[in-house]
A and B are shown apart, each in its own frame.
Chain A
């Protein structure tokens, strides 16, 4: 019975993280990206400057640690396939989803080395600035890793970096507003 419950809970979690990742990607791609193209044509074709899935990665890593790698991988692989199709299946491009799914947990692990611990039970668990610092650190890891995997450089690295960071900030502020609205409505 315990095993059945654990498997059911794990599967529900996987589905929620997958759905969150895909919805975040669709919002970035279908809402923010067209606005970016119209307002900042210099960045056209480089990267999305508000990449919300990065925020999903950071929050999932904050909540679930290294387990987030497994939870994020299906969403990251799906988005990679949606963006690059079968071209993305060759090496090293195929490594891109793995880099993306692991950068959040790796960033929190790196921050622990400088005594910024956000694990459950740690005094700074609920410090949003630590989470944002992890977002920035993971965006560096992700940008460098993704640009290596996808064979791009230069302005694209900067665009990936900015997109990841802005994506994390926009997602956190958006969720804050949703929770605030929910609380005011008594939900």
Chain B
């Protein structure tokens, strides 16, 4: 099977994140401000070669930097519960897949 180039995957992820912002502000999605910031950060963080995004990459993104650790962890957990993020197979924590 032909692999999708990394640049294209990253572009698609950024585009999704940008347009997700339109959905949120149009009221089509109900998320708290920290949840939204963490989700945008997850979307804009570079996906690793295996297709996962790691929590330290999300945490280090400019969009999530201002959050305290407990708020960041709560938002991350809530996004998993709401189905926006899934835990990556084989990882109990620390790596996620964008739903």
Contacts and interface: CB of A to CB of B under 8 A. Distances in A.
Interface in A102-128: 121-123, 125-128
A172 B44 CA distance: 18
Q: Main SS of chain B's interface residues?
A: helix
B32 interface: no
Interface residues of A, number: 25
Interface string B8-40: 100100111111111101001000000000001
A172 B19 contact: yes
A5 to B, nearest CB: 8
Given A126-B18, A126-B63, A175-B19, A63 B44 contact: no
B5 A128 contact: no
A127 B21 contact: yes
Contact of A128 (B6, B18, B43, B44): B18
A175 B11 CA distance: 13
B7 A13 contact: yes
Q: Main SS of chain A's interface residues?
A: helix
Give the interface size bracket for B toward A: 20 to 34
Given A16-B8, A183-B99, A123 B63 contact: yes
Given A12-B8, A13-B11, 19 more contacts: A9-B5, A9-B6, A9-B8, A13-B5, A59-B15, A125-B44, A125-B62, A125-B63, A126-B14, A126-B18, A128-B21, A128-B22, A131-B18, A172-B19, A176-B20, A176-B23, A179-B15, A179-B20, A186-B99
5 contacts: A63-B15, A125-B63, A128-B18, A175-B15, A186-B99
